[in-house]
Structure 1
Amino acid sequence: MRISTQQQYFKSIDQMQNSQSKLADLQNQISTGKKLQTPSDDPVAAAQVVKLERELAQYEKYDDNINVTQRRLELEDSILDDINIATDRMREITLQAGNGTLNDQGREAVANELKQLSGYVAGLMNTKDSQGEYLFAGSRGATTPYVLEGDRYEYKGDDGQRQIQVGAALYMPSNDSGNYLFEAVDDELSVALSGASVASNSAFVDSATFANETEEERFTAAAQMAGWGDLTVRTTETAPLPSGVFTFDVLDSGGNAVKDQFDNVVTGNFSTNPVSVNVHGMDIVIHEPTAAESGDIVLTVSSEKKNILDVAMDLADVLAEPVLSDEDRTVLNEAVAKGIDQFKQVAERNIEARTTLGSRLGTLEQISGSNLDFELFTKSALSRLEDADLASVISQFKLQEVTLEASQATFGRISSLSLFNYIN
């Protein structure tokens, strides 16, 4: 086999260039610590690296969300603690106001302190987070939740919660609305009517009311003991038209007849029109319906809600009035007793909310630990794919360097050989 001089040169140069290229690649790996310099180095590994980097970025986002959520929940817990302290003070001075030895001036001083505490608590309820959004406005972060209108504070937020993703398939509420936290004090009972005749503005129930708080308490106790649920007033035509004679019955949510405080079934006719019946404190006024109006009307009894600010301001108004008679003293005592009970409800909701906050914060710590484990696993897998084994790469570099030097030395000697050397 004949090897030409030109072929010999080209072959040697090509080998040295390949060696230099490998040396450059190895040098890059040593300087960067990465064995994957371009996707063409290992297309399959490069695709896996892109996927793992995307997962890692996602977990980093979860960590950011966890930190934001923790800050918001910790701030909420701190504010609720301050509100609880203020509530305890309100309850304490309310007890003082109920002391029979306290004169008008003393009660007025208590009323003024209640108003001052109300303003302080309202400021806490309007707290903003680090991003400048109102903490207790629900999903309306830009809306001031409690606004003073006249002499009462009105809630302008909603009952929404902000759900923040803190895991691959896990969302965590980062706030609680003022509607849940503060609009939770039971006040007067209200009765809502529903049914076909109500919708057509031809209801045969004229009213369903309670004369006072004592009657409300009597009805509530009876309803809970009997398990009534919603009440239904049913009118039935007992004689054909044109006479149109009707009777009425009051039924519970199971369709059973309701009995009054004398254990008599609440039923009757319209010998007087309208007719008034009393169901354990609820006064129901019914007029005789027409054939088109007859049927069922459902009475849904619910408690209207107040916030701690309303409770304090209402109580302050009563305390500011002088006691001039036994009737005034009775009104004062009832207001104090009601205020103490309502402040207790505020405290109970506060404890309930803070217990929930503690559970959320504990869950966030667990999620953060799990996410950290996933991050470490992902980073380990990523390292195996793209990080260079420096000890091995340096050894290869030294070997390639020696090989190149040998090639260069050999080429120098071979290139000097010629047939004319032997002729001479």
Structure 2
Amino acid sequence: MRISTNLFHSQGLQSIQKHQQDVLDAQLKLSTGKRINAPGDDPVALNQIHSLNRTMNSIDQYAMNGVFAKAQLVFEETAIADTTDSLQRARELTIQMLNGTYTAEDRQATGKEIEQIILQVQNMMNYRNSEGELIFAGSSVNAEKAFVEDVNNPGYYAYIGSPNAAGQFESDGVTPVEDPLANYGSRFVQIGFDDDNKLKPNDEGDSSRVRISDNGQKVFGISTTTTFTGTPDQNILNVLVELKNALNAGLEPPAGVAEDLKAGIEQLAEVRAEIGGRQNRIQTQFDAGESFKIALEERRMGLEDMDIVEGVTELTKSQNALQMAQQVFSRVQDMSLFNYLR
């Protein structure tokens, strides 16, 4: 078999180019600190790395959702705490005005303070979050108010999901105030991986979701013992209205008002405790996500990151191989018949 000079040169050049590429690859891995810098380096490992990155990105997004959910729950907790303080003050005044030593003028003066308490409680019951959405309107977060004037019982207030709110229109003059959707659902935020990817009407037993708004009738509605004038909704705001009406007339507080205010305070305390439970669940889900993320990060580093000792060894081997290939090529150049015919 005849081997030409061109074949010697071609094979020698290919060998040098291959070893040069090996040196460049080793230098790239050491400079980036990554074992995989191109899809061809390890397709299987690269696919696993992409999957791990997607999972970790989801965990980061759930953590951000948790921060948002916590902020919204703080708004709700603030509104409930303020309402509780107002009701406690109203109850103190109620018990005080039951004392027969106070005159009609004293009760009327106290009625003025109750009017201010009503305005404050009304503001809290129609409280909006940072997004401008009602936090006590169930699913109707974009309504103008959660508690509106009762058209069937003037002077009282009705929840927008109540029939007593029917007959009114919002500021556009077209949209009816009564909204049955206010009685269903509320806003939820995803804070973790869902085990079955199925939505439920609430977040009970589902650690992946947390509720950040509530139905106002469930929060502020109570079973009252106060005798109302007419048939208004049974809520703490209307209890205050009945108290105000009696005091403005110079009369003693109606029977049952003090007990109803106490029941309202206890109801708000339960809601506030439940909000605290939701906040704790967000923190627990965050901690679990961070622990899972650490395990995923360790796995990703094992697939992607370059071992420095191994990288230096590989670079040295490639450099030695390149040097040998260059020396062999220089020797091959001398293997010509013309060199022997000189």
Per the TM superposition, whether the score is higher than 0.5 is yes
Q: 2:312 aligns with which of 394, 409, 417?
A: 394
**Structure 2 partner of 1:174:** 212
Q: What displacement does 1:74 show?
A: 2.5
Matched, 1:62 2:66: no
Q: What displacement does 1:10 show?
A: 0.5
Instruction: State the distance in 2 between where 1:35 and 1:130 align.
Output: 46
Matched, 1:306 2:234: yes
Q: What displacement does 1:15 show?
A: 0.8
- TM normalised by structure 2 equals 0.80
Greater helix content: 2
Q: Match for 2:240: what amino acid? A: A
Task: Tell me if structure 2 keeps the 8 A contact 1:185–1:346.
Answer: no
Which deviates further from its counterpart, 10-19 or 57-66? 57-66
**Structure 1 partner of 2:188:** 163
**Structure 2 partner of 1:347:** 265
Instruction: State the distance in 2 between where 1:119 and 1:362 align.
Output: 32
Instruction: State the distance in 2 between where 1:176 and 1:78 align.
Output: 14
Task: Tell me if structure 1 keeps the 8 A contact 2:157–2:233.
Answer: no
Task: Tell me if structure 2 keeps the 8 A contact 1:138–1:175.
Answer: yes
**1:163/1:85 Cα in 2 relative to 1: closer, same or farther (>3 Å)?**
same
Q: How does 1:183-202 map to 2 (within 5 A)?
A: 183-187=221-225
Greater strand content: 1
Q: What displacement does 1:62 show?
A: 1.7
**Structure 2 partner of 1:226:** none
Percent of pairs identical after alignment? 29
Q: What displacement does 1:355 show?
A: 1.5
**Structure 2 partner of 1:357:** 275
**Structure 1 partner of 2:48:** 48
Q: How does 1:217-256 map to 2 (within 5 A)?
A: none
Instruction: State the distance in 2 between where 1:19 and 1:43 align.
Output: 22
Gaps of 5+ in 2: 162-181, 195-207
Q: Deviations over 1:172-220 (max 9, x none)?
A: 22222211111224257xxxxxxxxxxxxxxxxxxxxxxx89xxxxxxx
**Structure 1 partner of 2:103:** 103
Instruction: State the distance in 1 between where 2:6 and 2:250 align.
Output: 122
Q: Match for 1:156: what amino acid? A: I
Q: Match for 2:111: what amino acid? A: A
Q: What displacement does 1:164 show?
A: 2.2
Superposition RMSD in Å:
2.3
Q: Secondary structure at the match of 1:186?
A: coil
Q: How does 1:103-142 map to 2 (within 5 A)?
A: 103-142=103-142
**Structure 1 partner of 2:156:** 152
Matched, 1:88 2:92: no
Q: Deviations over 1:15-64 (max 9, x none)?
A: 11111222232233223322222333222222222322222222222212
Instruction: State the distance in 2 between where 1:312 and 1:363 align.
Output: 35
Which deviates further from its counterpart, 114-123 or 405-414? 405-414
Q: Match for 2:246: what amino acid? A: V
Q: Deviations over 1:313-363 (max 9, x none)?
A: 11111111145xxxxxxxx35x0x321011011111011111112222222
Q: What displacement does 1:147 show?
A: 3.0
Instruction: State the distance in 1 between where 2:59 and 2:115 align.
Output: 48
Task: Tell me if structure 1 keeps the 8 A contact 2:243–2:257.
Answer: yes
Which deviates further from its counterpart, 19-28 or 143-152? 143-152
Number of equivalences: 302
For the pair shown, the structure with the greater C-alpha radius of gyration is 1
Task: Tell me if structure 1 keeps the 8 A contact 2:91–2:261.
Answer: yes
Q: Match for 2:218: what amino acid? A: Y
Q: Match for 2:156: what amino acid? A: R
**1:25/1:187 Cα in 2 relative to 1: closer, same or farther (>3 Å)?**
farther
Task: Tell me if structure 2 keeps the 8 A contact 1:94–1:110.
Answer: no
